[in-house]
Structure 1
Amino acid sequence: MPSHLVLTVIAKDRPGLVERLAEAIADAGGNWVESSMARLGGEFAGIVSVDIDEEAIGNLHQKFDVLLKDGIAITLRSDKARPEPLKGAAAHLDLISQDHPGILRRITRVLREHGVSIEHLETEVVPGSMSGEMLFKASADLRLPEGLSPAALSEFVQETAADMMADVNLID
């Protein structure tokens, strides 16, 4: 019976990490379905979705034990079936603000209060092009619950953005 696994991986960044992970999954009979990976603060971090026969999961654990000995930490969550695709409208949010603590907390609170799921999120702090002041930037792909339009969500987000003097653009 096929199982659906989601694993996280973190290790000191170096060439060949993704290849070693892909090789372990393939050698155990797994199928790499989707992933998101990045270099953050000198570390390599990723999340991977894998389909694999239930009988092969033990073999996959053995492959991961070998990687762990080489400093590649992997955590695993499993489910028997793939989750159902989310329903509702898709939207994209871009935010830019002078950097200060709590920006992401305030925006994500608005999203949670309206039942919005974050499908993908990237953030960074960069120097401003004119002033050199540090700017917080966020980019997120969102899934809105049925019944909530991107226009309505934009109004809720803009209220919070105005309080923080942030520039927020929400597009569907």
Structure 2
Amino acid sequence: MKSTPHARSGSDNQLLIHALTSAAHSPLTALTRRIADAGCSLAESRVATIGNEVSIMLLANGAWDALAKLETALNKLARDENLRLAHYRTTPREPNSHLLPYMVEIISADRPGIVARIVEFFSQQGISVEQLHSTRYLAMQTGAEMFQAQFTIGIPADVHIAALRDDFLELCDGLNLDAIMDPVKF
């Protein structure tokens, strides 16, 4: 049988799983075991401890019936372990070769609205934020409250990089942020 562009293969069947719970009771082992036991594979994963909580995002691949088995196992796990668990079916992300991956890092004295202003800038430029990690900390030397953020962004290939970098660094100078913007090198 000939495959059509809209035909779904086994690897096109995906289940996105998001669990939130106390970091002391991380369900990572239980979740990955359920994925394997259902006959699915783990395509992507993100685990982050934020405050006293852990956030786990997993993307499972498998045949539609294996995903149905996994959904049943996840519903039981959520009930038995009293987890905040959400899951739903999704489709693979289409490759987007016209987006250039860049890393942006910002460090400054902590104050409200920094992330909102940077995300707004990228949005206005038609640039997607692919990943974001931010944290607050106390400077070792002075004890000042500091802020750090790392963004991975997708810049459309037709955007003039030097002009974008100039505009971004001008924004950061105006907000008194120390920033860099470099291509992702991997």
User: Would you call these one fold, judging by a TM-score over 0.5?
Assistant: yes
Look up the match of 1:131: 142
Deviation at 1:84, TM superposition (A): 0.9
2:57 is equivalent to residue 34 of structure 1:
no
Aligned-CA RMSD value: 1.6
1:22-171 correspondence runs (5 A): 22-69=32-79, 70-79=81-90, 81-87=91-97, 88-171=99-182
Stretches of structure 2 that go unaligned for 5 or more consecutive residues are 1-8
User: Could you say what secondary structure the match of 1:86 adopts?
Assistant: coil
Q: CA deviation at 1:109?
A: 0.6
Deviation at 1:15, TM superposition (A): 5.7
CA distance in 2, matches of 1:74, 1:103: 30
Give deviations 1:68-98, integer Å, cap 9, x for gaps: 120222212323x411122321111010011
Tell me the residue number matched to 2:4.
none
2:23 paired residue number: 13
What number of residue pairs does the alignment pair up? 171
Q: Using the TM superposition, give the Cα deviation of residue 56 of structure 1 relative to its aligned residue in structure 2, in angstroms.
A: 2.4
The answer on whether the counterparts of 1:12 and 1:71 sit within 8 Å (CA) in structure 2 is: no
Alpha-carbon distance, 1:131 to partner: 2.2
Greater gyration radius:
2
Q: State the TM-score, normalizing by the size of structure 2.
A: 0.85
For each residue in 1:20-72, what CA deviation from the matched residue of structure 2 results, as whole angstroms up to 9, or x when unmatched?
11011111111101111111111110211111211223311221122212022
CA shift digits 1:74-125 (9 cap, x unpaired): 212323x411122321111010011111000000111111111122211000
The 3-state SS of whatever aligns with 1:63 is helix
Q: Equivalent residue for 2:3? A: none
Matched to 2:71, the amino acid is: H
CA distance, structure 2, for counterparts of residue 167 and residue 18 of structure 1: 36
